Amino acid sequence: MQRSNKKPKRRALQSVPRFDDSSSYAGQARVRLTLPGVPQLLSTTVTTGVIANFYGVNIGAVTGFAARFGSTFDEYRIVSCRMMIRPISASTGVSVHWFDEKSGSAPTSNESQERIGARIPNTNASDKAVLDMSWKARDLLDLNYTAIGTTVTPVTFKTYTDTANWGAPSVVTPMWLLESMITFEFKGLKST
């Protein structure tokens, strides 16, 4: 009896989607680009000291997206996002920052207390207060391709603070600079 030196072939599990070989690509080239989003400056309000900011991670965050990429590609999807959170004042209190895949509405005090996110002191006195947070698309619906001119928001980045619960200042105070880097994957290279 002879023994074979050939290794058995490995087969992919049928229940696991394989995007690289799927028919949705139809042999089309895929291109990934990481693009900067428009920076946001967040300030507290008078009396209540509230910041209830929500930043939709979508093509609207990138200046001239459709004009820049619509003549080159047919479709896109958002693969990931990195938010750089920079404190810009020496202030009191704490702010809460998180990614929310379920709700695109303004955050509330209750929501900020229930969410798992980054709780950062409202001060630039320490380099440790600077934070980078990342999100990566994992949901199959988030990984669907969308026409270049159509806006889809797979995730919203939220920031919340107030005087009553988080000790924020009760006067208008610039607090945070949010900078985003959004990674897009394009397909359907157009020919001229």
- Domain contains 13: no
- Domain contains 44: yes
Q: In angstroms, rounded to a whole number, what is the distance separating the alpha carbons of residues 179 and 36? A: 8
- Would you say 175 and 85 are in contact if contact means Cβ atoms under 8 Å apart? no
The pLDDT, as a whole number, for residue 78 is 96
The pLDDT, as a whole number, for residue 21 is 44
The pLDDT, as a whole number, for residue 137 is 93
- Would you say 161 and 42 are in contact if contact means Cβ atoms under 8 Å apart? no
The Cα-based distances of 8 to 2, 4, 11, 162 in angstroms read: 16, 10, 9, 61
Structural domain total, the chain: 1
- Looking up residue 51, the CATH number of its domain turns out to be 2.60.120.20
- Domain contains 124: yes
The pLDDT, as a whole number, for residue 128 is 61
Residues of the chain with pLDDT under 70: 1-28, 126-129, 191-192
The Cα-based distances of 84 to 20, 36, 40, 49, 77 in angstroms read: 30, 11, 11, 22, 21
Q: What is the pTM of this model?
A: 0.81
CA atoms within 13 A on the CB side of 74: 11
Q: In angstroms, rounded to a whole number, what is the distance separating the alpha carbons of residues 69 and 78? A: 14
| Tokens (6 digits) for 98 | 């998180």
The pLDDT, as a whole number, for residue 23 is 47
- Domain contains 15: no
- Domain contains 159: yes
- Domain contains 4: no
| Tokens (6 digits) for 115 | 């969410």
| Tokens (6 digits) for 120 | 């950062």
- Domain contains 10: no
The pLDDT, as a whole number, for residue 15 is 47
Tell me which residue range forms the domain holding 155: 29-189
The pLDDT, as a whole number, for residue 79 is 96
- Domain contains 70: yes
| Tokens (6 digits) for 174 | 């610039």
